[in-house]
Structure formats: C-alpha cells, structure tokens
Chains A and B, each alone.
Chain A
Amino acid sequence: MTNIPETGRTPRVQIRLVVIQILVLSLLGTLGGRLWYLQIREGAAYQKEASGNHVQQVVDPAVRGDILDARGVPLADNETRLVVSASRTDLLKQKDDGEAVLTKLAGVLGMKPADVMRKVRLCDAETPQPCWNGSPYQPIPITDEATAKQALQIRERAEDFPGITAEPEAVRRYPGPGKSNTSQVLGYLSPVTDEEIQKAKDTDSPYLRSDMVGRSGLERQYDKALRGKAGVTRYEVDNLGRVIGKARSDAAESGSNLITSIDSRVQRVAEYELDKAMKVARQQYDKITGENYKADSGAVVVMEAKTGRVVAMASAPTYDPNVWVGGISAKDYKALTGKNSEYPLLNRAIQGQAAPGSTFKVVSTAAAVEAGYPFDGRYPCTSSYSVGSQVFKNFEGENFGPISLGRALEVSCDTVFYGLADKEWKRDGGINPEKGKPKDYFYKAAHQFGLGKETGVDLPNEVTGRVPDRQWKQDYWKANKDAWCKSGKKDGSYVEKIAYENCLEGNKMREGDSINYSIGQGDTLVTPIQEAAIYGAVANGGTLYQPTIGKAIVSADGRTVTEIKPKKNGRLPVSQATLKGMDEAFAGVITRGTAAWKFGGWPQDKIPLHAKTGTAEVYGKQTTSWLATYSKDYTVIMTIAQAGTGSGASGEAVRNIYSALYGVGGDGSVDKKRALLPEPQKSLPKVRPDGTIASPKVAGDPAKDVEASQQDNPSNDDGQTPATSPSPTTGNRDTRRRRRGRGSRRMPT
C-alpha cells in the first residue's frame, strides 16, 4: 500500500468534490441552525401553542362565598338545586350520538325530546338559541329544576343514562332574613361577557365562560374574594378531540365569605320605616305646589359613629334581588332599568345627591368659627336679610333677635348665616376679588368636611356630590355659557333671566350665591353617605371615617380571617369647644328645636339624641327632606325627595329606628330586651371549625315588632298635622324653612 493513493484524478474533479463536500456541510448546518431557532429561541412560544393544542379544560365552578350580616345571618348565600347535565363527549361515543338516551331523559324530566336535543347542540353562527355556547367538554345543563325523584331515577339507572348526571349544584340566593331586602347594597350577578374574559385572560384571576360576575353592590366590590377559584380538570385530547388522558387538574377553591357590618334586623327596620315614611308623605298636602307630596325616592343610612361601619343602608324605590337569580327575564330587566322604572337599581344612599338644605349649617358654623366669629357670639336673627333689591327671608319671618351660632343651629335661623356668609364674601373682595386673595372659609370648610369627593365607602360607583366653589363655577360656566348666552333674555321669563345673568357673570361668585350656599341651597350637592360621615364625625369628636360595609373576609375553610379595619378620612376643622357647642345645639333640636315635635317623650336623659333638619329646594320639584341625627354610637341619616320638611317626612321613621336600636317603647321606657343593637356589634360572628359561620335565627319581622311597641308614642297621635303646626306637646316654634314667594330670592337651579 502506498501512503499516497494513486487516484489519477484531475484537479477539476478534486475541486468539485470539495465543493460538494462544502455544499453538503452547509446544508446540514442550515438544518442545525433552523432547528436551534425553532427549539431554543422560539421554543417557549411553540410549547404554549402545543399545550393549547392538546389540552381541553373542563371547569368545576367554585361555590361563591356568602355575604353575611354582622351576626352571621346570611344576606346572600347559595341554594342547592338539582341540575341534570349531559356530557357531549359521552353522548357522541354512542351509536346514535346519544339520541336514544336524550329521548329517554326527556321522558323522565317531562320535557319534549326535541327541546332536550336543542339544549345540547353547540352554538354556531347558524344555530339559534337554545344551544350550548360553552366548552363542548363541559357538562351541558339540561335543567336546574329537577326534582329529587327525577334525579334519583337518573342516578339509580345510571347504565340507562350514559353521559347523563344529576348533581346538586349551588345557585345564588338572597334569602332576605327577617323580610329585609338589602338589594342595592348586595348588588347582583350576571354572566361574564366575552370582553371581560378577554381582558382578564392574563391576570391572576381569569374568568371562565361559566362564571357569574358581581355587577353592583357588594357582589361587585368583593367579587374577587367571593368568587373563589374554579377548579379545572384538564384532559389531553388527540387531533380528533378524543380524550386520551388526564393532565394536571386543580381542585375548585370555594369563595371566601364576607361578613358585613349590616344588621339584617336594623336593615329591615330601616327599609320598612323609609317605605312607610314615603307612603305617609304621599298623603300629605304640599301647600306650595298645591298637590300631595310625590315622595318618589329616598334613602336611609344607619352608621356606627365611632367606626364608620354601616349598620343599615336602604334605598327606595327598591326591588327583589332574587329576580337576577337564574338569569333575569327581559321583562324584569326592563322593569328595573327602563325609562319608566324610577331606577330601583340605584343605591340612593351613595348615588343619590341633593342639596343638603339646613343640614349644611354644620359646615357653615364651622366655617364661621374658622373665619373668626366666636361660637358664642351674638348674631342678629332677623326676619329677613336684604342685599340690594333682593330680600332673603327667614321662614315665616320669625325673628329671634341676637343669638349665638348654637342657637342659630337649633332654631335653624337662616339670616344669621346669610349675614356671616355675606360679610365673608365682602371681605374676600366681593364680585371681583383679587386673584389668590379670597379666603373662602365657607368653601374650604366644605372640602374639609369631605364634600365634593367620594367618602370611599366599599361600594362601587359612589358619586361625589358637589361644592360650588369658584373653581367649579368657572368650569361650569365654561361648559354652559354658550347655551346660556343663546337662550338668555334680559326681560324674558324667569329661566331666561337666569340664563342671561349666568351668561354675563356665571363664572363669578356672586353675593347671592354665597348667601344661598351658606344654608345648603343652590348648587351644593351631597349624598346621604357623606352626611352620615359628617354627622358621625360630629358625634365621635371630630374624626371623619371612611364608611365601610365589609367587616371581614373569612376564607371558605374558616382558617383565614382578614378583618377590614375602619379607616379615617381625616378630621373636621372644628375645635373641641365648638364641637361641644354644636353637640348641645343638635341636642336642642331634639328637645326644643325643629325636630322636637317628632321626639316628644323620647328618653333624652338616658339616650341623648342629636339632630339637624333640612329642607332643600329643587327647581321645578317639591322640596327634598333631610334629617341628620346621631346618638352616642350611631348616626342615622334619612332623606326623601319631594317630601317636604326633614322632620315632617322623616322624624317618625328615624325615631322608630332609634327605638328599635335601643329598645325604646312608645312611652319613652327603655327595654334592653327589645333593643336590637344597643351597642355596635364589635365581635365577628363565630367561625366553626369546618369553616361555616354560626348565625342566629331571625324570626318574624323586626319592623312590625318595633311598630307595635310604638303604639303609645305621643308623637304618633292621629289628630296631629305635623306639616303645618308646631307640636303642642313641646310648645316649640316650628322653624322649618319654607320656600318664599317667587321672585323674593333667586331660585337655585
């Protein structure tokens, strides 16, 4: 052998062989590079695609958590219904695609076979409802109203019904303990939408197609906690969708239970009293409009003064929350949301806003003291206050002479506040103040009292109300001046004249604006929950709490209890001395002031109550009544639109709520046994080791019990005509404000 083989080949062949070799290696190199690109660089993306390819998920829905009241009584829970479902996968394995089984099933359920078939077919563009638009691997519910007998028939003859299951399933229910309703606070559920599924796809709590989502109220606010986490069984399927194995599955985690500060009994009383007060108001004749009061909507808030926890919150008109269960019908939906519905879905305690009327004087008083007017000073309470040609009158022209701010609160003397606000307006530079100079004590105080912004109550879509300060006037004028300037006429109708004036100087703080503002009329808007926060703060010594309804979130197994602590929103800009003065004045309202005629016989020495009445004017409508009250532990706010005066419309209702809380009889006697909640519920209900929460029974109707106990209330005498004359038992002047004759003052718009 030789080391150099005698190839005898020409260089041309040799070169070409080298070329072939290089070509071959570069081809293989290309393959290697492409392989690296697919597997290493893009590998993760392909892995995701592959898993989406072959895994199908079957959802095992989580049981939604309960919403409980402060004592553990369920306000929203789940009831078990027998749901008969069919598994498409199993049906398709049968020779006739399950037709025989479904026909037999229809017989058992008393349905038409064709209807059952239609329910299990899959939806697509050409298939009209009924059809199934969930996952084809999901058991398809055929009925959720199966009787126990039907379920047994199906279960005992399982071999006759392959692919059919009859299982108990949880369905949301609002039991309404003790005839309470709590509808707007609880909110409601409706099926998740495609958009929401898309949006929540990559978050840590994705939705499943079968999910129900909280749409309002607590159901929405605490949706994430209540919803829990649906379990997922993952099946590996082949290219034809046949199940070839089970992949990693997650068990369902039940939603947490929400313990609220609501007391279902007090809630019932509040709802009942609000409803009754509105019914009574509709019987009352309104002298100004010449017809009975309409009393078309109202709200009441009962709040713990020292924590901001809401004990009861009612809004009228109301509805039965159970209409949402199992899908709302088109008719019911229209009745709740249509143009003629009066919008019962609105929670007017947080979404209704109105001028506060005289209840606003607590802000004006604080502002005046801030501005340097001593609380105990002497201020003239004349029968009227004149600015140029305009005359601002006191109710029925009463004249108390020079009185302190406290007394002015007690008798609700408007002219005292007119004078102070006017003086401040002048001090701030009048109609054309220097820039940055105005101190605006009265407006600043409103903001410091938390007005013009949400209280932060744990309910969705709270509204802010409005403080008509200079900034707002400027913004509002900008937005509306074109319309005003177009419609305004100097010598036109009342509305046209207003528009004309607004067009000229609507961006300026006019003298009349400030005067009106000082007694809560005009453009100021507040919500009942804001009033509750303010009067709660007056009651507790000046701390503004963020109202809360949720008290604790308890995990389904009961092991984790997350308490929702009261939060402070700030402090009132009021010294303790002034607060004390206000406190005395508000007590005076009960004993000898504007609310006295409704609180005759109240055991004020044992359970001191404090109140401020308010009657707000609304252009073109009847007056809005306000009654803001507080005791040592609670604050109760009630407002009814188009119902006259605060004390007249709500006095009795609010008194009854206090009577229920403290167990006060009609004769003023205090019976602790009858008291529903003489002290706020501090402790949480007991959580049993298995995670369930102990709850007492609520028997009967707490509202009727209270009503029965109030039979001998002297203020409830039939012969009384509260809206027109002062109560003879107290001998007090009725100092409720009344609308003056037209033209005597500028009407708020």
Chain B
Amino acid sequence: MTSANSFSVSGYGPERAGWTRLFARDSLARRLDWPILLSALALSGIGSLLVYSATRNRTEINQGDPYYFLLRHLMNTGIGLALMIGTLWLGHRALRNAVPILYGLSVFGILAVLTPLGSTVNGAHSWIVLGGGFSLQPSEFVKITIILGMAMLLAARVDAGDKKYPDHRTVLQSLGLAAVPILIVLLMPDLGSVMVMVVIILGVLLASGASNRWVFGLITAGTVGAIAVWQLHILDDYQIARFAAFANPDLDPAGVGYNTNQARIAIGSGGLTGAGLFHGSQTTGQFVPEQQTDFVFTVAGEELGFLGAGLIILLLGIVLWRACRIARDSTELYGTVVAAGIIAWFAFQAFENIGMTLGIMPVTGLPLPFVSYGGSSMFAVWVAIGLLQSIKVQRPMSA
C-alpha cells in the first residue's frame, strides 16, 4: 500500500499540522508499542543507577571518575535509542533484504575476534578492543542476524502463500545459516552466547511452524551436544568449575563457589525493601565480582530489595508479554518469527542471568538485557526493540 519507510505516515486522510499529526489516531506515535518502550527505558534507567552504585568506588576500573560507568551506560542507552529509531525507520522488512550484508558483516566480525584483533575477558575470547576504552562484542549482533536470516528463509515461501509450513529443505538451509556463526562463537569459546543462540533457533523454529520433528530433533541434538561437550572435555577448567559450583554452592566458598555465594548473600540480605541505593554493604565492599555487568542484578537485590528486584523482573515481563502480543498479531509469518526469536533471546538471557545470581542456574557470562553495563549488548537489545516496534507499526500495512 505504502512504502516500507513509514516514519511519515501518509496516504490516509488530509494532511495535518505536525503536532496534531503526531497524535493522530493512525499516527506512528499512536501505533508504537509504548509499554515495551517505556519498560525498556525504565530498565535502562534502573540499570544506570545500579551500574553507578556498583562502580562508583571501584577506582581500579573507573579511572578515578565515579561517574565513568554511569555516563557510559547512559550514552550506550542513548545510542541504543538511536539504533532503535534507525531500525524502525528502515523497518524490519527492509532489513530482510539486507540480511546477506548483515550476515556477512557479523560473521566477519566474529571471525575477527578469533584473530589477534580480539581480546580475552574472563576466559572468553569474544571482544574486539576499539581503543579509547571502547570495545565491541560482535557475538551480540550475531544473535540479530541469526534471527533475521532464519526468519527470512523460513517465512519466505509461507508468506508468499506457496506453503503452509516451511519444508525440510528450508529448515535445513536456515539451520545451516545459523550453524556457521554458532560454531565460530563456540571456538571463542563463548558458551553463554552459544546457549542463547541455540535457544533462539528453537524459538524461531517453533514460531515458523516447522515440523515437530525438527523441534524435538533440535532439543535432542542440543542435549547430546551438551553431554558430548562435557564428556570430551571441550570445556575449559573454569567452565567445569562453574558448573560444579552450581551443583554444590557450598563447595569451596572462597574459591569457585565464591561468586555465587557472595551473590546470594547480597541478594538475600536485601530483604523486602533493601539496604537503600548506594547503601549495600556487599556492593560497597565489592564482594560480588563483575557487579556492573553479569552480576548487576545483585545490586538491585541488595540495595532495592524484593520490591526493586521484583520490579526489574516485572518490567522484563512486560517487555516479553508485549513481544508475545506482537508476535501473535503480526500479519505475516516473517514478523512473527522475528518476534519469537527476540522473545526466546530476551527470555533465556534474562532467566539465565538472574537465575545464576539467585543460584538456580550455573554461572555463564551473559548480560541482563538493558540493565547490565556493556555497549554491544545494549545496542543489540535496542535494535531488537526497534524490530519489535517495526513489526507492530507495520502490521496494518501488510502486503
């Protein structure tokens, strides 16, 4: 009906003044999914406070500036917002056409990490240091390209009306498309990201309507793969230790179990209302490692208590709930599959991240969407929000 670029929605009714137009019944502002946007903004805002609380005393990493991480987190959020708007501007359908380029770029990115360009953080060789204190984690963007690429392949013939469900050949193609970057990430080794990607594949396949055999086959393959990885000693010692500490948290509380133990003490000591922002002794005393990134939820648990930490879970729930609505309301399978991929991504990453701080999941280096400090992750999740908004606003204009 109209162009895919729908920032200025025209073609309906008479032209109106800018202000009125923005709030017109059919305007973009009216059609945006505000609960998702506001929840994501709130999460980023809370995240900036928590990141600040966790880093203001860490002179060894904040370069003597207590606001170093706070400002960067806010800046990342701003860039993320801009990326969301850009994504919305382009629209998820236009991005479908750009999948080959995006795919090529991201695979190149993660390959670059494996070269001497990359650097190792916490045992995972998954970073490209850009200089000036900035670094990039290409595996975050790979998640998006996998979602877009698989969705493109799986939905193409269904949306065209040729098939009711994607056929085996298409499924195989899409799996092949995902397998290449996953194998590269596995080489880093960034086990957490691999797990997220596998879950994304599962979500995408489910939503695409692919045969049950593929779904169960993938679950079986994942299980067998996990056992193989364990049995063949592909894991590094630190990864085995993390799982051992998960299985028995009291094991060696000063060593391997230290992280999980201190994290749980921090959260447990928060009680109903918490120690108050900036008053958490575990946080101030830096007993929990990686507290601005992977363990940021412990700051919320200790300083904001059950109410604050629960609010984070609630906000994530709103984002996921609205995303589910968007997936179900999309007029085309492509949108549904993209949304489902994002849901699988966010849901698993949030569950794994919060779960490990609560001691119900093993420790892996995954950030909490919107809340954790980290540019790449922040950019990726905001692009995902842009995709969801794009699916939402473009719904009525389906071909």
A residues contacting B by CB (< 8 A) are 1, 5-10, 12-14, 16-21, 23-25, 27-28, 30-32, 34-36, 38-40, 42-47, 49-51, 53-55, 236-239, 244-245
Contacts and interface: CB of A to CB of B under 8 A. Distances in A.
B7 interface: no
Interface in B185-230: 203, 206-209
A400 B309 CA distance: 101
The CB with the most chain B CB atoms within 10 A, among A12, A20, A42, is that of A20
A18 B281 CA distance: 43
A9 B333 contact: yes
Given A10-B209, A38-B267, A237 B313 contact: no
Given A13-B336, A50-B281, A39 B270 contact: yes
Interface stretch (B167-175, B239-247, B343-351, B375-383): B343-351
Interface size bucket, B side?
35 or more
B39 interface: no
Contact of B328 (A14, A30, A32, A44): A14
A244 B209 contact: no
A54 B287 contact: yes
B171 to A, nearest CB: 14
Interface in B290-322: 301-302, 305-306, 309-310, 313, 316-317, 320-321
Contacts of A24: 320-321, 324, 343, 347
A35 B305 CA distance: 9
B395 A5 contact: yes
A30 B287 contact: no
B228 to A, nearest CB: 26
Contacts of B343: 20, 24
A441 B306 CA distance: 76
27 contacts: A5-B396, A6-B331, A7-B328, A13-B208, A16-B209, A20-B206, A20-B340, A20-B344, A21-B324, A24-B343, A25-B321, A31-B355, A34-B358, A34-B359, A34-B360, A35-B310, A38-B267, A40-B272, A40-B306, A46-B265, A46-B269, A47-B268, A50-B265, A53-B281, A55-B281, A237-B285, A238-B286
A244 B281 CA distance: 10
A50 B282 contact: yes
B320 A28 contact: yes
A54 B340 contact: no
A39 B267 contact: yes
Interface in B269-289: 269-272, 281-282, 284-287
B139 interface: no
A46 B298 CA distance: 13
A244 B287 CA distance: 13
B327 interface: yes
A236 B340 contact: no
Nearest to B339: A17
Contacts of B302: 50
A19 B343 CA distance: 12
A7 B268 contact: no
Contacts of B208: 13
A236 B281 contact: yes
A25 B271 contact: no
Contacts of B6: none
Interface string B19-37: 0000000000000000000
Given A17-B336, A20-B343, A42 B268 contact: yes
Contacts of A53: 262, 265, 281-282, 285, 287
Contacts of A50: 265-266, 268-269, 281-282, 302
Contacts of A47: 268-269, 271
Nearest to A44: B271
Interface in B383-399: 395-396, 398
B25 to A, nearest CB: 10
Contact of A49 (B269, B324, B331): B269
Contacts of B317: 25, 28
Contact of A20 (B264, B324, B329, B350): B324
A239 B286 contact: yes
B309 A35 contact: yes
A93 B331 CA distance: 67
B268 A46 contact: yes
Contacts, number: 165
A467 to B, nearest CB: 58
A42 B268 CA distance: 7
B165 interface: yes
The interface residues of chain B, by DSSP majority, are classed as helix
A106 B258 CA distance: 41
A35 B269 contact: no
Given A16-B206, A17-B327, 7 more contacts: A24-B320, A28-B316, A46-B269, A47-B269, A49-B265, A244-B57, A244-B284
Nearest to B396: A1
Task: Name the 9 nearest CB pairs between A and B, nearest first.
Answer: A46-B268, A50-B269, A238-B285, A43-B271, A21-B324, A54-B285, A39-B306, A47-B269, A54-B281
The CB with the most chain B CB atoms within 10 A, among A36, A53, A237, is that of A53
B354 interface: yes
B310 A46 contact: no
B19 to A, nearest CB: 23
Contacts of B328: 7, 14, 17-18, 21
The CB with the most chain B CB atoms within 10 A, among A14, A27, A30, is that of A27
A43 B269 contact: yes
Given A24-B343, A40-B306, A43-B272, A10 B285 contact: no
A420 B310 CA distance: 91
A7 B398 CA distance: 9
Nearest to A41: B268
A14 B324 CA distance: 11
Contacts of A30: 351, 355, 360
A49 B327 CA distance: 45
B313 A35 contact: yes
B340 A17 contact: yes
A361 B165 CA distance: 117
Given A5-B331, A24-B343, A53-B281, A12 B209 contact: yes
Given A20-B340, A31-B351, A8 B270 contact: no
B358 A35 contact: yes
A172 B321 CA distance: 73
Contacts of A17: 207, 324, 327-328, 336, 340
B285 A43 contact: no
B165 A10 contact: yes
B271 A39 contact: yes
Given A27-B351, A31-B354, A10 B164 contact: yes
The CB with the most chain B CB atoms within 10 A, among A14, A42, A238, is that of A238
A2 to B, nearest CB: 9
A544 to B, nearest CB: 58
B239 to A, nearest CB: 23
Contacts of A36: 306
B165 A12 contact: yes
A30 to B, nearest CB: 7
Given A20-B203, A50-B269, A7 B330 contact: yes
A239 B207 CA distance: 47
Nearest to A12: B209
Contacts of B268: 38-39, 42-43, 45-47, 49-50
Contacts of B265: 46, 49-50, 53
A42 B396 CA distance: 50
A10 B158 CA distance: 10
Nearest to B329: A5
Given A20-B344, A50-B269, A39 B309 contact: yes
B351 to A, nearest CB: 5
B269 A236 contact: no
Nearest to B289: A239
B384 to A, nearest CB: 15
Contacts of A28: 313, 316-317, 320, 347, 350-351
A50 B396 CA distance: 54
Contacts of A20: 203, 206-207, 324, 327, 340, 343-344
